[in-house]
Structure 1
Amino acid sequence: MEFGPPPSDDETRRMRARLAGLPCGIVALGAAGEVVDASARASAMLRMPLTVGTDFAEALSERFDMTEVLRPGDLARGIDVRVDETTLWLQAGPTSAAGAAGSVVAVSDVTSFAAALDERAMSLRFLLHDLRSPLNSISALTQLDATDSDAFERCGGMQQITQLAHYVLSLGEQFIFTSVAEHLHARDFKRFDLRVTVRQIISQLEVTALYCGVALQLWLSDSSPIWVSGMRNFVARAIQNVIDNAVRASPSGEAVTVSLRRADGFVEVLVNDRAGGLPGLTEGTRLTDFEGLGRKTATGFGLGLKLAVQIVDLHGGSLYAELNGFGGTLFVLRLPCLNPGAARSATASFVDADRALHEARRV
């Protein structure tokens, strides 16, 4: 087999200049794993000399005090090493040079990626810790139901299990949202009709409302679509959490009313209940921080509201609560509206909903 002439000194200098400009270090290895060439960046990143002819795997093992010398396939699969506070990823691939039998190792700085993985692992550990208590309680309640039904009812029965399960789901939702939100881009936001979404949410929550003995009412005129931009599933979850909190907090026989209205380029989802008002909420004030509500009970009342705030903030909106004058709370979830003029007719629905609540109060 014939090979072309070896590269000239000028070609070698140009090649090394190109390698020096890469964000990663490069180490060229021969067929036996010996160093054939290496960029200055690779040597600097690894903080070790990369002398031609040195057995690269053996030198790495010694440099980083590995318990065993690297095997031939280790570099092909990839390994990570720590240099002070920096995490490096080394991975070998076959050389593209014609007739060459060696390999090329790329040395990349993956410190930020490794830190993100460590943070995610820590978050998972915290999540598992937070889940342990309610899950153990659910397990204990189910065992108690099988052995002592009276004691089971005294401990809250199925209502307590439902609340604990709701809390577990809320913790999971919070983790998923936090994980996804870190990597969202503008291209992930899509246009969707908020009216259709609200109708679907009400339909999904009808069973919960029936179980709680609460009348769930939707006041929504048959007008043109109300377009908003965002992650539809997240927005739907925020609205659902607000309505769900209102339903679960309401006494049996009361009503929760949902409506829409336009306000200054925003569309607002309004949720009215008659549950006595949120803790700490006084006449003429607005509550925008629901952080403390999640710590008021063992089942994490308010955790769903905290997640809703985070979601609407991500979408350029807001969520606040105020007393509604009917013995309960008005929750207002605001989102930027892409066609605010089309939402005018929805305002009438809110007026009707207010009137309906007032009439229900007098009965």
Structure 2
Amino acid sequence: MESLRYAHAPAPHDAQVSVGIKQLQSMLDAQPWGTVALAPDGRVVAASARAVAMLGTPIPVGTALEHVFGFCLRDGAEPYTALEQGREVEIDGTWCWLKLTRVEHDERDANCVAASVAIVDITPLHRALDERIASLRFLSHDLRSPLNSIVALTQLQEIDAATFAQCGGMKQIGELARYALSLGENFLFSSVVGNLQRRDFSRFDLRATLRELVPQLEVAAVYRGVSLRLWLPDERPVWINGLRPFVARALQNLVDNAIQASAAGSTVAISFKQVDAEVEIGVKDAAGGLPGLHQKERIEDFDELSQKTSKGFGLGLKLATRIVSLHGGTLHAEINEDGGTTFVMRLPCLARQRLAAQGEGQLDTVRDSVRAFAAGALK
């Protein structure tokens, strides 16, 4: 392929070069970022209108690379190498990323395009990073209080067991630990959700997820003297499209809340059933009812529910609600026949008919391959 040439002032008869430069200029102007095309010696071949606007200065053809980007180069630095590594600079309040990329060219041709410098507006990304750093600082500050209290209580246990018991003992340490955990969970969830795309979702078996999760909560149940029961009607997979760790965390919060609210000797029952295109999971306790919940009523909004009620309700409920909503489901609490609370989570599941059709289609493909192989069509 013939190299693209440039000239400071193309002669009228050199129509081919003139047309090539115009095509290059048109291509650069069509890009959503600014671009400066360079010759092997660093002279400007062409610069897009957006590059001129973002740099805030004219960029005539033939200008040396150092004159265009000298403001962001260190003294003595080789311009090509420095820009090839990338530079983040602020230009009139706009944060830009400058990145030089070399392109293949004829080394014998001094008048060809040998590299291009992209100028990308990263102000939104820079602002988001600043906000994330600020959020991390706030989280660090918020975590310091419960963690310092936990350290102080553990030290107190060693030197004064009586005072340790008066301060709440291990129960207080557990509440502080759960509070610190909820702060971290909310931060992680908020951080991830802002960047979620549909492609991040994947198919997983909710039934298997629940079956794996419940044994992990047995330790907390045994410690509280609570019986944990799981009712699964059959072994058939129930497929969900979503984020498995998030859904598992929402379920864990619901079950853990029920365990913490229950008295020793009581039972927390977890039910699982599929109704049409939805799967319903119930977490039932006999702890006396969620604060504010009355007979034949339900609670769907947990924002106003205290995070530190005397029975442990509220911890993680807002997070669970957000996760369920993210997956197109619903979550509510209702009074059960034992005078306790049942949390009902409903999530849309993938239709069995569609999955069966997909499976049958894959089976047909396998059958066709076997037949073709038997007929000698495959080699």
TM-score range, shorter chain: 0.7 to 0.9
Out of 327, 340, 343, the position equivalent to 1:328 is 340
Map of 2:329 onto structure 1: 317
Q: CA RMSD in A?
A: 2.9
Gap regions ≥5 residues in structure 2: 7-15, 354-379
Q: CA deviation at 1:332?
A: 0.3
Q: Distance in 2 between matches of 1:142 and 1:185?
A: 43
TM-superposed deviation, 1:224: 2.3
Match of 1:89 among 97, 108, 113: 97
- The CA distance in 1 between the partners of 2:311 and 2:159, in whole Å, is 24
Q: Normalization by structure 1: what TM-score? A: 0.82
Residue 161 to residue 61, structure 1, CA distance change in 2 (3 Å): farther
Q: Is the 8 A contact 1:270 1:331 kept in 2?
A: yes
Which residue does 1:15 correspond to in 2?
Answer: 24
Q: Is the 8 A contact 2:96 2:120 kept in 1?
A: yes
* Distance in structure 1 (CA, Å) of the matches to 2:288 and 2:310: 20
Q: Call closer, same or farther: CA 1:28–1:67 in 2, change over 3 Å.
A: closer
Counterpart check, 1:25 vs 2:41: no
Partner of 1:105: 117
Q: SS where residue 96 of structure 1 aligns?
A: coil
Q: Distance in 2 between matches of 1:298 and 1:30?
A: 73
Match of 1:291 among 290, 303, 307: 303
Higher relative contact order, structure no. (Cα contacts within 8 Å, ≥ 6 residues apart): 1
| 2:205 corresponds to | 193
Q: Deviations over 1:92-132 (max 9, x none)?
A: 23343322786431111223322332232222222212211
2:270 is matched with which residue? 258
One-letter code of the match for 2:211? R
- SS, match of residue 332 in structure 1: strand
Determine what percentage of the aligned residue pairs are the same residue. Answer: 50
Structure 1 residues 154, 317: CA separation in 2 closer, same or farther (over 3 Å shift)? Answer: same
Bigger-Rg structure (1/2): 2
> Could you tell me whether the CA contact under 8 Å between 2:24 and 2:46 is conserved in 1?
no
Query: Measured at CA, do residues 227 and 68 of structure 1 come closer, stay the same or move farther in structure 2, by a change above 3 Å?
Result: closer
Structure 2 counterparts to residues 1-363 of structure 1, below 5 A: 8-29=17-38, 35-52=44-61, 54=63, 56-57=65-66, 60=69, 71-72=77-78, 73-84=81-92, 86-99=94-107, 103-263=115-275, 265-296=277-308, 302-339=314-351
Look up the equivalent residue of 1:86 and give its one-letter code: T
Corresponding residue SS for 1:217? strand
User: CA 1:68–1:194 in 2, change beyond 3 Å: closer, same or farther?
Assistant: closer
- Whether the aligned pair in 2 keeps the contact of 1:167 and 1:299 (CA below 8 Å) is no
Contact 1:214 1:253 in 2 (8 A): yes
Deviation, 1:185, is 2.8
Q: Which amino acid is 1:251 matched to?
A: A
CA contact (8 A) 2:330 2:347 kept: yes
Q: Which shows bigger deviation, 241-250 or 290-299?
A: 290-299
Q: Decide whether the 8 Å contact of 1:290 with 1:305 is kept in 2.
A: yes
Q: Distance in 2 between matches of 1:112 and 1:142?
A: 44
Do 2:261 and 2:311's aligned partners in 1 also have CA atoms closer than 8 Å?
A: no
In structure 1, list runs of 5 or more residues that go unmatched: 342-363
